[in-house]
A = this chain, B = another copy of it.
Amino acid sequence: MKFSVTVTLKKDVLDPQGKAVQNTLINLGMSDLKSIRQGKFFQIELNEKDSKKAEARIDEMCKKLLANLIIEDYKIDKL
C-alpha cells in the first residue's frame, strides 16, 4: 500500500530556505512570483493490506520522525 506524506512549515513559521529560493527566482527574472515556501515530501510503501491500519501506521511515522509538530503540519494521501 502506497502513501505520500507532505510536510510543510506552519503558516507563521519563518522559512529561510524558501526565502532563499524566492530571491534566486526573482534574480532570475520571475518578477510575478509572490511567495514560495518549501517543504518535504515522502513516498512510503507499506507491507500492510488493511487501509485503516496502514494509515494509522503512517500517522505514527509522521508523529515520531517525519514531522516536527511544533513547527510543521503534515498531510497524508493514499496513492
Contacts and interface: CB of A to CB of B under 8 A. Distances in A.
Contacts of A43: 8, 35-37, 39
Contacts of A32: 46-48, 57
B36 A39 contact: no
B44 A8 contact: no
A32 B61 CA distance: 11
A37 to B, nearest CB: 5
A34 B38 CA distance: 26
A68 to B, nearest CB: 14
Interface of A: 6-8, 18, 21, 24-25, 28, 30, 32-48, 57, 60-61, 64-66
